[in-house]
């Protein structure tokens, strides 16, 4: 039987900002047992399936199907729509354009939260990768990432810091690896091809 499940991932990042992502998934398989041994292969990321979005999105914690509504704290948590009110909107993920919200200072990461002398280390380096097949080139912007994230969020566990040293494929991303560790979970979903495949292909070598 096909069942609609609304899932939402809330990740509290190091600097205290909250990144929420919502999507609809359709699952034909029975729910996995609660206590599973650590599998060698991570489960496919259901958030990344290209399906119609849940409506309405960003429900309050007590109604989102994730938090137990009978527990007091579910009522105490701030509803996402209230927390995200005033941020730049988008038509995908949790309907917030986080990159623009950051650029326009509607969100200000608190680097100094744990250490008053901490400073952000923003790196403005784009990595361009030409995919197999005919899709446009992928531009990975370090800037849009390091405005939120530490180098160590990606290096070296997810990516060896060397251009071209990592094998990346859409299959891996859809399985929640490489870019898919975040995209489709706490960052914009894989349905937004053009945000990553954003540059005309370099002319083919003669
Ligand atoms: C969101 C993930 C992410 C974060 C955060 C990140 N990087 Fe990277 N970095 C990458 C990816 C992806 C590549 C390209 C790897 C490839 O092409 O195989 C890369 C490549 C590099 C390279 C190689 C560049 C080249 O031309 O060979 C260096 C150096 C690097 N990163 C340094 C940093 C530093 C310093 C920071 C923190 C200020 C940082 N990175 C933060 C994902 C990240
Ligand atoms: C550690 C988490 C993480 C990883 C890994 C990661 N990203 Fe991101 N990415 C983010 C976050 C967080 C944002 C900002 C929030 C958003 O746009 O949803 C972002 C934003 C972006 C943007 C900016 C889009 C815009 O609107 O300007 C692009 C492009 C992007 N990522 C591509 C990639 C690619 C390509 C990879 C893999 C090579 C990758 N990312 C890996 C977390 C990650
Ligand atoms: C989060 C960033 C991101 C998004 C969103 C994204 N891609 Fe990709 N895509 C990549 C990266 C990175 C590669 C690997 C490039 C390389 O070979 O270096 C890739 C590779 C590919 C390839 C080449 C075959 C392969 O698997 O390596 C195809 C085809 C492709 N993407 C299609 C799509 C389509 C269609 C969409 C939208 C439904 C999409 N991509 C969305 C990052 C992304």
Read off the CATH number of the domain in which 83 is found. Answer: 3.90.10.10
Would residue 65 count as lying in a domain? yes
Task: Find, among 52, 141, 48, the residue nearest to 91 by Cα.
Answer: 52
- Determine the pLDDT at residue 128: 96
Note the pLDDT of residue 75. 87
Q: What stretch of H or E contains 112?
A: none
Q: What are phi and psi of 5, to 5 degrees?
A: -125, 130
**pLDDT, position 112:** 84
For the entire predicted model, the pTM comes to 0.83
- Looking at the domain assignment, is residue 170 inside a domain? yes
Residue nearest to atom 29 of ligand 1 (CA): 161
User: Has residue 131 been placed in a domain?
Assistant: yes
Residue 23 falls inside a structural domain = yes
Closest residue by CA, ligand 1 atom 26: 163
Contacting residues for 153 by C-beta, under 8 A, at least 6 apart: none
* Ligand 2 centroid, distance to 76 Cα (angstroms): 30
Is the CB of residue 165 below 6 angstroms from any atom belonging to ligand 1? yes
Atom of ligand 3 nearest to the CA of 170: 26
Which three-class secondary structure state does DSSP give residue 147?
coil
Is 150 among the domain residues? yes
Q: pLDDT of the chain along its 206 residues, tens only?
A: 333 333 333 333 333 333 333 333 334 444 444 444 554 565 555 555 555 655 677 899 999 888 899 998 888 999 999 999 999 999 888 899 999 999 999 998 888 888 888 877 899 999 999 999 999 999 999 999 999 899 999 999 999 999 999 999 999 999 999 999 999 889 999 999 999 999 998 766 55
Query: Is 202 among the domain residues?
Result: no
pLDDT score, position 48: 57
Residue ranges making up the domain that contains 50:
3-196
Q: Which helix (H) or strand (E) holds 145?
A: helix 142-146
Alpha carbons 68 and 129: distance in angstroms, whole number: 43
b/e map 125-162, b = 16+ CB within 10 Å: eeeeeeeeeeeeebebbbebbbbbbeeeebeeeebeee
Q: Is residue 203 part of a domain?
A: no
160 belongs to a structural domain: yes
Helix (H, G, I), strand (E, B) or coil at 128: strand
pLDDT attached to residue 46: 56
**Residue-wise pLDDT tens digits, 16-46:** 333 333 333 334 444 444 444 554 565 555 5
Q: What is the DSSP-derived secondary structure letter of residue 132?
A: S
**Interval between CA 70 and ligand 1 midpoint (Å):** 44
SS3 state of residue 29: coil
Q: Output the residue whose Cα is nearest ligand 2's atom 41.
A: 179
The residue among 204, 190, 200, 202 whose CA lies nearest residue 92 is 190
Comparing C-alpha atoms, which of 203, 145, 130, 134 is closest to residue 179?
145
* Number of domains comprising the chain: 1
Mutation choice for ligand 2 from 102, 120, 122, 144, CB with most ligand atoms inside 8 A: 144
The protein residue whose alpha carbon is closest to atom 11 in ligand 2 is 187
């Amino acid at each position: 039987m096909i069942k609609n499940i609304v899932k939402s991932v809330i990740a509290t990042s190091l600097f205290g900002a909250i990144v929420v992502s919502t999507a609809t998934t359709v699952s034909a398989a029975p729910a996995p047992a609660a206590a599973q041994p650590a599998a060698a292969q991570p489960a496919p990321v259901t958030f990344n399936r290209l399906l119609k979005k849940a409506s309405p999105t960003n429900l309050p914690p007590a109604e989102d199907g994730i938090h137990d509504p009978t527990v007091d704290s579910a009522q105490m948590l701030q509803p996402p729509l209230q927390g995200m009110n005033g941020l730049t909107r988008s038509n995908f993920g949790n309907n917030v354009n986080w990159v623009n919200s950051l650029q326009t200072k509607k969100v200000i990461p608190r680097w100094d939260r744990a250490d008053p002398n901490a400073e952000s280390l923003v790196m403005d380096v784009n990595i361009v990768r030409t995919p197999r097949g005919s899709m446009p080139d992928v531009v990975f912007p370090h800037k849009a990432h390091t405005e939120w994230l530490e180098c160590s969020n990606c290096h070296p566990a997810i990516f060896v810091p060397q251009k071209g040293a990592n094998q990346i494929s859409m299959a891996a991303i859809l399985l929640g690896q490489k870019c898919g560790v975040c995209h489709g979970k706490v960052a914009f979903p894989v349905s937004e091809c053009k945000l990553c495949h954003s540059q005309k292909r370099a002319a083919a070598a003669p």
